[in-house]
Amino acid sequence: MDELARALGSPDAIAVAESAAGSGLLAGLAEAVNSARYWQEPDETDELLLQRPVLTALGPVATSLSGSLAAWLRPSMVALDRQCFVQWTDEHRLQPPSLIGAAEQLARWKASTLADERQAADRPRDPAALWSGRWWSTPALFDLVTTTRSVAGLGAMKLVLVEDSLGWKRAMVWPLEPAPGSRIYEISEPAAWTGLVARYPLDVSLAKRHDWWRTTGVDGAWLMPDWSAVAADYDGVHLTVSGYLTTAGRYLPVGQAGTVLAGWNPDETYWLNDVLRPGTSPSEWHSNESQPPTWTGNATAL
Q: How confident is the model over 55-101, as pLDDT tens digits?
A: 788 777 766 665 555 555 555 689 999 999 999 998 777 778 999 99
- Binned at pLDDT 50, 70 and 90, residue 115 comes out as very high
Angle at 241 between CA 78 and CA 50, to 5 degrees: 160
Instruction: Give residue 59's domain range.
Output: 2-73
**24 shares its domain with 154:** no
What pLDDT, in 10s, does the model give residues 118-157?
999 999 999 999 999 999 999 999 999 999 999 888 899 9
For residue 258, the surrounding DSSP H or E stretch is strand 257-259
Side-chain half-sphere of 5: how many Cα atoms within 13 Å? 13
The beta-carbon contacts of 287-295 under 8 Å, at least 24 apart in sequence, are: 287/159, 287/168, 287/169, 287/170, 292/27, 292/30, 292/31, 292/160, 293/160, 295/154, 295/155, 295/159, 295/160
pLDDT for 139 equals 98
Give the whole-angstrom CA distance, residue 222 versus residue 229. 18
Domain boundary among 73, 88, 119: 73
Buried b / exposed e along 172-188 (16+ C-beta atoms within 10 A)? bbbbbbbeeebebbbbb
Give the whole-angstrom CA distance, residue 263 versus residue 36. 9
**The residue type at 90:** D
**141 shares its domain with 200:** yes
CB 184 within 8 A of CB 235: yes
Number of domains making up the chain: 2
Angle at 116 between CA 110 and CA 206, to 5 degrees: 115
Domain boundary among 73, 99, 127: 73
Q: What share of the chain is helix, strand, coil (3-state, %, to 5)?
A: 40, 20, 40
For residue 47, the surrounding DSSP H or E stretch is helix 44-49
**131 shares its domain with 24:** no
**131 shares its domain with 240:** yes
Give the whole-angstrom CA distance, residue 113 versus residue 225. 11
Q: What is the mean pLDDT of residues 36-40?
A: 79
pTM of the model: 0.86
What pLDDT, in 10s, does the model give residues 3-35?
433 443 444 433 433 344 445 667 777 888 888
Sign of CA dihedral 130, 136, 137, 139: negative
**91 shares its domain with 172:** yes
- Binned at pLDDT 50, 70 and 90, residue 46 comes out as low
**201 shares its domain with 69:** no
**32 shares its domain with 179:** no
Give the whole-angstrom CA distance, residue 264 versus residue 137. 8
Q: What is the mean pLDDT of residues 206-213?
A: 97
**20 shares its domain with 128:** no
